[in-house]
Amino acid sequence: MSDQANASPAQGTSLVSDNTGEGTRFPPRGQPVITGINRIGLWSLYIKEVRRFLKVQTQTIWAPAVTTLLFLVIFTVALGRGDRQVLGVPFASFVAPGLIVMGMMQNAFANSSFSLLSGKIQGMIIDLLMPPLSEGELMTGIIGAAITRAVMVGGSVALAMMLWPGVSLSVAHWWAVIWFGLMGAMMLSIMGLMTSIWAEKFDHNAAITNFIIAPLSLLSGTFYVIENLHGVFQAISRANPFFYVISGFRYGFLGESDIGTHAHVVQAALGLAVFNLVLGYITYRVLKSGWKLKD
């Protein structure tokens, strides 16, 4: 009996025999087996999210290009007659960059806002919460897939814009195009993830889209320069983070922006980075608390 007692595993460990007859000892309970970043799990989640929207790419990638091109056609016909110029370029070339990044942001939001919400509605949220992924890894996978969709949508919209006569998409500052495009997609991805955590049904998601995201997108200087507005509305526009994304992205193409000088554009770029960090931290803390996910 004493030999058997001495041979028993320590408390909190398991002993499993293998083919050699020797025991295989597992870590104590509560001690993580995976340390550091779970790269395989993170990559698997990212690929799962990407494949989800690629399965219906006609709806998620190409349909936004057609819708955005219709916006361009309508506003060009309505406001662009008479060789009208804005910021020194034809109206069509002025409005095209804003439409591209607006499509990117809206689709980034649509992708991330669906991830957790669909699991809650279908009763399969455990499939995302049970795998050995930290809250940061879960956020990274979902946000990364949403940004990927935004980039694909931006490419398809830009391709559609090039087919429209009178549109020039020559790039003046590549850093601004890349930075503001990514910051805008990241901002809406984080907002979408927060919405996905809060929402309990698709109506909640649609309410945020229709009453917050769409108005902020359309009233952000996509189709006009804010200098044409009254001073009060200019101040309201400058409080809208969407304005800095669209105007900064446009600056990358035209070299001109209603944000101000080059220094003002750089300040806006840094401000968006700080805003995304704060927004991401808040979302991380909410996700870590399990609010509306583990109740």
Residue 251's φ and ψ, nearest 5 degrees, are -60, -35
pLDDT tens-digit profile, the chain (295 residues)? 444 444 444 444 444 444 554 556 666 776 667 678 889 999 999 999 999 999 999 999 999 989 988 888 888 877 656 577 888 888 888 999 999 999 999 999 999 999 899 888 888 888 888 888 999 999 999 999 999 999 999 999 999 888 888 788 999 999 999 999 999 999 999 999 999 999 999 999 999 999 999 999 988 888 888 888 888 888 988 999 999 999 999 999 999 988 989 999 999 999 999 999 999 999 999 999 989 887 6
pTM of the predicted protein model: 0.86
SS3 category, 3 = helix
Residues 6+ apart with CB under 8 A from 92: 72, 76, 80, 164, 166, 167
Q: How far apart are CA 41 and CA 227, in angstroms?
A: 49
Q: How far apart are CA 242 and CA 219, in angstroms?
A: 9
Q: What is the reported pLDDT for 32? A: 66
Q: Identity (one letter) of the amino acid at 24?
A: T
The token pair at 200 is: 């309990």
Q: How far apart are CA 216 and CA 169, in angstroms?
A: 24
Residue reference for tokens 């990117």: 104
The token pair at 196 is: 């996905």
Q: How far apart are CA 114 and CA 226, in angstroms?
A: 33
Q: Identity (one letter) of the amino acid at 253?
A: F
The closest of 4, 280, 24 to 144, measured between CA atoms, is 280
SS3 category, 89 = strand
As a three-state string, the secondary structure of 90-144 is EHHHHHHHHHHHHHHHHHHHHHHHHHHHHHHHHCCCHHHHCCCCCHHHHHHHHHH
The closest of 283, 285, 287 to 189, measured between CA atoms, is 283
Q: How far apart are CA 95 and CA 10, in angstroms?
A: 69
**Would residue 85 be called left, alpha or beta, if left means φ above 0 and alpha means ψ between -120 and 50 degrees?**
beta
The token pair at 76 is: 């060009």
Cα atoms found within 13 Å of the Cα of residue 89, Cβ hemisphere only? 21
Q: What is the reported pLDDT for 81? A: 62
Q: How far apart are CA 191 and CA 150, in angstroms?
A: 14
Q: What is the reported pLDDT for 6? A: 46
